[in-house]
Amino acid sequence: MMPGMGVTAAEEPAVSGPETTDLHVLVLAGGLSYERDVSLRSGRRVLDALRAVGMQAELRDADVALLPALTADPPDAVVIALHGATGEDGSLRGVLDLCGVPYVGCDARASRLAWDKPSAKAVLREAGIATPDWVALPHDRFSELGAVAVLDRIVDRLGLPLMVKPAQGGSGLGAAVVRDAASLPAAMVGCFAYDSTALVERYVPGMDVAVSVVDLGDGPQALPAVEIVPRNGVYDYAARYTAGRTTWHTPARLEPAVAEAVAQVALAAHAALGLRDLSRVDLIVDSTGQPHVLEVNVSPGMTETSLLPLAVQAAGLDFGRVIGNLVARAAGR
Amino acid sequence: MVAGVLGIRDRSRPSSHRGDVMTGTTLDDYTDRYARRVRGMTASEIRALFAVASRPEVVSLAGGAPYIAALPLDAVGEMLGRLGAEHGSTTLQYGIGQGTLELRERICEVMALSGIDAACGASPEDVVVTVGGQQALDLVARLFLDPGDVVLAEGPTYVGALGVFQAAQAQVVHVPMDDEGLIPAALELAIAEQARAGRRVKFLYTIPTFQNPTGVTLTEQRREQVLDICERAGLLVVEDDPYGQLGFESEAPAPLRARRRDGVFYLSTFSKTFAPGLRVGWILAPHAVRDKLVIASEAQILCPSAYAQAAVSTYLGTMPWRQQLKVYREVYRERRDAMLTALEDLMPADTRWTVPGGGLFVWATLPDGLDSKAMMPRAIAARVAYVPGTGFYADGSGNGHMRLNFSFPPPERIREGVRRLASVMEQDIAMRRVFGAVGEPGARRGRTGWDAPGPDLA
Per-residue pLDDT tens digits for A105-114: 999 999 999 9
Compute the distance between CA of residue B371 and CA of residue B378 in angstroms, rounded to an integer: 11
Q: Are B239 and B264 in contact (CB under 8 A)?
A: yes
pLDDT in tens, B211-236: 999 999 999 999 999 999 999 999 99
Pick A250's closest partner by Cβ from B23, B43, B428. B23
Compute the distance between CA of residue B222 and CA of residue B215 in angstroms, rounded to an integer: 16
| Confidence bin at B262 (pLDDT 50/70/90) | very high
Q: Are A220 and A238 in contact (CB under 8 A)?
A: no
Rounded to an integer, the average pLDDT of A151-179 is 92
Q: Give the Cα-Cα-Cα angle B330, B111, B361 (nearest 5 degrees).
A: 40
Mean pLDDT value across chain B? 90
Cβ–Cβ contact B197 with A under 8 A: no
| Confidence bin at B441 (pLDDT 50/70/90) | very low
Rounded to an integer, the average pLDDT of A36-47 is 94
* Among A286, A3, A292, CA closest to A132: A292
* Among A131, A128, A304, CA closest to A204: A131
What's the pLDDT score for residue B293? 97
Cβ–Cβ contact B16 with A under 8 A: yes
Q: Are A174 and A194 in contact (CB under 8 A)?
A: yes
Indicate whether B45 pLDDT > 90. no
What's the pLDDT score for residue B360? 97
Q: Is A19 a catalytic residue?
A: no
What's the pLDDT score for residue B457? 75
Number of Cβ within a 10 Å radius of residue B340: 18
Number of Cβ within a 10 Å radius of residue B221: 11
What's the pLDDT score for residue B452? 78
Question: Taking CA atoms, what residue in B is nearest to A182?
Answer: B438
Rounded to an integer, the average pLDDT of B249-265 is 93
DSSP B277: G
Indicate whether A183 pLDDT > 80. yes
Pick B375's closest partner by Cβ from A174, A193, A246. A193
Say whether B118 sits in a helix, a strand or coil: helix
Max CA distance (Å), chain A:
65
Chain B residues 105-144 with a CB less than 8 Å from chain A: none
Percent of chain A exceeding pLDDT 70 equals 94
* Among B259, B448, B194, B320, CA closest to A236: B448
Rounded to an integer, the average pLDDT of A285-301 is 96
Sign of CA dihedral B305, B311, B314, B319: negative
What's the pLDDT score for residue A179? 93
DSSP per-residue string spanning B223-246: HHHHHHHHHHHT-EEEEE-SSTT-
pLDDT in tens, B318-328: 999 999 999 99
pLDDT in tens, B396-418: 899 999 999 999 999 999 999 99
Say whether A71 sits in a helix, a strand or coil: helix
| Minimum distance, in Å, between the CA of residue A35 and any CA atom of chain B | 7
What's the pLDDT score for residue A230? 87
* CB contacts, 8 Å: B441 with chain A: 176, 183, 186-187, 189-191
| Confidence bin at B450 (pLDDT 50/70/90) | low
* Among A277, A307, A111, A136, CA closest to A208: A307
Compute the distance between CA of residue A106 and CA of residue B177 in angstroms, rounded to an integer: 56
| Minimum distance, in Å, between the CA of residue B343 and any CA atom of chain A | 22
What's the pLDDT score for residue A33? 87
| Confidence bin at A272 (pLDDT 50/70/90) | very high
Indicate whether B204 pLDDT > 60. yes
Percent of chain A exceeding pLDDT 90 equals 81
Q: Give the Cα-Cα-Cα angle B318, B319, B321 (nearest 5 degrees).
A: 125
Q: Tell me the CB-side half-sphere exposure of residue B370, using CA atoms within 13 A.
A: 28
Q: Are A28 and A80 in contact (CB under 8 A)?
A: yes
Q: CA–CA distance from B54 to each of A30, A37, B24, B260, B286 (Å)?
A: 11, 11, 37, 42, 41
* Among A178, A181, A305, CA closest to A237: A305
Rounded to an integer, the average pLDDT of A132-141 is 95
Pick B43's closest partner by Cβ from A189, A234, A237. A237
Choice among A33, A42, A111, A306 that is catalytic: A306
Q: Give the Cα-Cα-Cα angle A293, A295, A299 (nearest 5 degrees).
A: 135
Indicate whether A3 pLDDT > 60. no
The segment with the largest mean pLDDT, out of A94-103, A299-308, B31-40, is A94-103
Rounded to an integer, the average pLDDT of A82-94 is 93
Chain B residues 22-81 with a CB less than 8 Å from chain A: 22-28, 30-31, 34, 42-45, 47-49, 51-52, 55, 57-58
Compute the distance between CA of residue A288 and CA of residue B274 in angstroms, rounded to an integer: 66
Contact B5 A185 (CB under 8 A): no
Model ipTM value: 0.86
Q: Is A35 a catalytic residue?
A: yes
Q: Are B99 and B281 in contact (CB under 8 A)?
A: no
| Confidence bin at B174 (pLDDT 50/70/90) | very high
* CB contacts, 8 Å: B436 with chain A: 147-148, 185
What's the pLDDT score for residue A265? 98
Q: Is A255 a catalytic residue?
A: no
| Minimum distance, in Å, between the CA of residue B78 and any CA atom of chain A | 32
Compute the distance between CA of residue B366 and CA of residue B101 in angstroms, rounded to an integer: 48
Compute the distance between CA of residue A216 and CA of residue B282 in angstroms, rounded to an integer: 59
Instruction: Tell me if A282 is assigned to a ligand binding site.
Output: yes
Question: What is the gyration radius of the CA atoms in chain B, in angstroms?
Answer: 24
Q: Tell me the CB-side half-sphere exposure of residue A152, using CA atoms within 13 A.
A: 5
What's the pLDDT score for residue A292? 98
Indicate whether B20 pLDDT > 50. no
pLDDT in tens, B287-341: 889 999 999 999 999 999 999 999 999 999 999 999 999 999 999 999 999 999 9
Max CA distance (Å), chain B:
88
| Minimum distance, in Å, between the CA of residue B49 and any CA atom of chain A | 6
Compute the distance between CA of residue B372 and CA of residue B428 in angstroms, rounded to an integer: 10
The pTM of this model reads 0.89
Percent of chain B exceeding pLDDT 70 equals 92
